[in-house]
Structure 1
């Protein structure tokens, strides 16, 4: 009897603790323990926004000069629309000059000094110059207050859910005195929102890499007050920590006493680009060492695999049905490679999924989009993405391989008759089968 009680007790204990160990195993499987020494962190795929690692990634924190990624985005947007030109001349205001005298990182803009948009863009992106940033903001919007409103509107448009901007620079608003923008609150941004902003910056405007990857510049080159400016992203090749991780070419650092040391980074190796964010690290060196942990983990454990190549057919979906055409189907192929970032060795867990346009009707021309191809993951990981809009960027268009002309009225009439007769006979056959 005692033996039976011991066995029963043991079974009860096992039943109670087994779910606990199972939960631990599931969590360990879902995300590696990287021991990131930061208040928050995230690592993502720079194509689909797949989250490969996150730590407290939704908490809004002061981003310091990572704020300037949004200012950079808006400048590039104005350039793209033609409202702004690189050689447009910007005149430094009282506010820009005041920051040039004592506003953190700066290029000492004189009152009324004239510089081109491109010169100020380099000063902002490479050296994080606050005076250059404000000069750009005022030039674009008339005042920093107006520009900050543009920043907050754009943040919502890009799907940033926690971000709130109160300055164009990330400089603490309460230290700006009479120049403080008339905007409520201080600037905050979560690691996830910083990743969203970084994703849009390099995907919407790939030319941003030209600025962010420049290791050093000379401001006012050839003039008596020329300034050599190193990039504060010391992980760029040729700078202090340039050998930590290969392929780093952006994006933006930031530091204040309240924010700590922050860094939104991007790097590419073997055709795979990653974006990482760390916020609130303890020192300048630590923001780069913690970034190294994230990027090393990503490049060591993940790879980009082409599930299907450009111009190839998806097995089982070689054609698409169309209406009102001389042909009832059209052969279809992928417009470009269906590239998926995945854990190494997991290719067999990813299957292509074809989604046709809701209505396909002739005439159709070769290269017309008839749908798109995405993928299904059948493994145990519970991957999430920055948002659905960014995730959809990993989809690939499915295009027609040849022309299909619109059928004439007579052809369509007889096709309908044949379909009707076929439907009648099908119903009769089904009825006969039902009798037996």
Structure 2
């Protein structure tokens, strides 16, 4: 959407933006989950270890495979020798897995999403891709496809490769660890929630039993202490996800999400000192977001750009068409800053010829967009450069293509009109 940019002022009243919240962590970010608008950012571009927050990418690929039918929830998953041995390491987050018992994709996925089970993650990775190494390639390919800016996936679980007892994925360094920037972690969480919101159905379960064997059950308590029913000291209203992480290199990290009054936020805290701290610092971020921002309708449905609600049309039975927004334009904005936005119209370049829309046009056809330019003291930022606060502009009526005869008559009319104007100018010049 370019060309024919026409600024329309709603009115500006400069205000001082409040300082962002002080988060005690190596890096942190807070994002509006709907638009990708960044509400707080601290050291978000440095690539850092992410530990088990890695599993968000594994979950994305698993949910994608389920939705596409590549695998099924009821698939039985074979347990390799490596996975069996790793599952018995109680110092790591695991449920014990047997080779003489049957586990489904659904059961193992639940242990991944609720209990961050490392061996279960690898088992599904091997089932889906054939090997963990091939799954890791899928992870990096998907990161590129989603536009993550800074990433390096080396295994599916988030453990240090050194914890895998020599069974780390082929082609990766034995001491490597998954690394992303805080911004890229937020981008991953943003896509996971957008594309597969059902991830929260499992991530929000406070506890569940895992059937490890015929007579063996394991109580899985969610590592996310902010969701209701896990830890009253850290429970947060509206929290329902998403993924914790810890290694000695990563420290205590957490990607959280919470919703209140139809506004969902995504937070990332990396490198907090303790398990409690990662939730306490996340609560600070959520409080900052919910206390200082709100969702506002900045332009109504059917909004007609003042003074520019009619656009000239070339090659049509009509010479102009009225335009308006197809839906209301809502955005998450700072409190008391609703009036700091200027609407700006952009007509679709591929529909323009010499600044005019080209017929034929259908009623309701998108012909451009109206974006809102922020006039406050701080520049607005989004997870992706392509994102903005905008709404579609559509044609209010159909404009049929003019016939050859109509275009010819218009041409003749223009010709004689030009002659008359020339004669008139000449005569006027005599006097």
Q: How big is each residue's C-alpha offset from its partner over 1:374-394, in whole Å with a ceiling of 9 and x where there is no partner?
A: 2111121122222213x24x4
Q: Structure 2 matches for 1:124-203, cutoff 5 A?
A: 124-182=112-170, 183-184=172-173, 185-203=176-194
Q: Structure 2 matches for 1:13-412, cutoff 5 A?
A: 32=19, 34-102=21-89, 104-111=92-99, 113-182=101-170, 183-184=172-173, 185-220=176-211, 224-241=215-232, 244-358=235-349, 359=351, 360-389=357-386, 391-392=387-388, 394-412=389-407
Give the corresponding residue for 2:9.
none
Q: Give the number of the structure whose residues are more often strand, by fraction.
A: 2
CA distance in structure 1 between the aligned counterparts of 2:318 and 2:129, rounded to whole angstroms = 55
Secondary structure at the counterpart of residue 114 of structure 1: coil
The answer to whether the 8 Å contact 1:244/1:292 transfers is no
TM-score, length basis structure 1: 0.85
Deviates more, 1:165-174 or 1:214-223: 214-223
CA distance in structure 1 between the aligned counterparts of 2:427 and 2:99, rounded to whole angstroms = 94
- The structural deviation recorded for 1:168 is 0.4
Deviates more, 1:412-421 or 1:69-78: 412-421
Unaligned 5+ residue runs, structure 1? 1-28
- The structural deviation recorded for 1:435 is 11
- The structural deviation recorded for 1:347 is 0.9
Q: How big is each residue's C-alpha offset from its partner over 1:75-130, in whole Å with a ceiling of 9 and x where there is no partner?
A: 22223333233333322222221221116111212126432222222211111111
Q: Cα–Cα, structure 1 residues 410 and 131, in superposed 2: closer, same or farther, change >3 Å?
A: same
CA RMSD of aligned residues (A): 2.9
CA distance in structure 2 between the aligned counterparts of 1:402 and 1:277, rounded to whole angstroms = 46
CA distance in structure 1 between the aligned counterparts of 2:221 and 2:208, rounded to whole angstroms = 7
The answer to whether the 8 Å contact 1:320/1:356 transfers is no
The answer to whether the 8 Å contact 1:245/1:295 transfers is no
- The structural deviation recorded for 1:321 is 3.9
The answer to whether the 8 Å contact 2:44/2:181 transfers is yes
Secondary structure at the counterpart of residue 53 of structure 1: strand
- The structural deviation recorded for 1:299 is 0.8
Q: How big is each residue's C-alpha offset from its partner over 1:53-86, in whole Å with a ceiling of 9 and x where there is no partner?
A: 1222111111110000111111222233332333
Q: Cα–Cα, structure 1 residues 115 and 222, in superposed 2: closer, same or farther, change >3 Å?
A: closer
The answer to whether the 8 Å contact 1:44/1:53 transfers is yes
Secondary structure at the counterpart of residue 105 of structure 1: coil
CA distance in structure 1 between the aligned counterparts of 2:330 and 2:263, rounded to whole angstroms = 10
CA distance in structure 2 between the aligned counterparts of 1:198 and 1:429, rounded to whole angstroms = 69
Q: Cα–Cα, structure 1 residues 336 and 225, in superposed 2: closer, same or farther, change >3 Å?
A: farther
Secondary structure at the counterpart of residue 381 of structure 2: coil
Deviates more, 1:104-113 or 1:337-346: 104-113
Secondary structure at the counterpart of residue 152 of structure 2: coil
Secondary structure at the counterpart of residue 226 of structure 1: strand
Secondary structure at the counterpart of residue 317 of structure 2: coil
Give the corresponding residue for 1:12.
none
CA distance in structure 2 between the aligned counterparts of 1:81 and 1:425, rounded to whole angstroms = 68
The answer to whether the 8 Å contact 1:126/1:230 transfers is yes
The answer to whether the 8 Å contact 1:89/1:115 transfers is yes
Q: How big is each residue's C-alpha offset from its partner over 1:5-26, in whole Å with a ceiling of 9 and x where there is no partner?
A: xxxxxxxxxxxxxxxxxxxxxx
- The structural deviation recorded for 1:421 is 5.2
Q: Cα–Cα, structure 1 residues 412 and 67, in superposed 2: closer, same or farther, change >3 Å?
A: same
Q: Cα–Cα, structure 1 residues 135 and 405, in superposed 2: closer, same or farther, change >3 Å?
A: same
TM-score, length basis structure 2: 0.86
CA distance in structure 2 between the aligned counterparts of 1:57 and 1:292, rounded to whole angstroms = 18
Deviates more, 1:220-229 or 1:108-117: 220-229
Q: Cα–Cα, structure 1 residues 255 and 77, in superposed 2: closer, same or farther, change >3 Å?
A: same
CA distance in structure 2 between the aligned counterparts of 1:134 and 1:424, rounded to whole angstroms = 81
Q: Cα–Cα, structure 1 residues 278 and 431, in superposed 2: closer, same or farther, change >3 Å?
A: farther
Q: Cα–Cα, structure 1 residues 405 and 105, in superposed 2: closer, same or farther, change >3 Å?
A: same
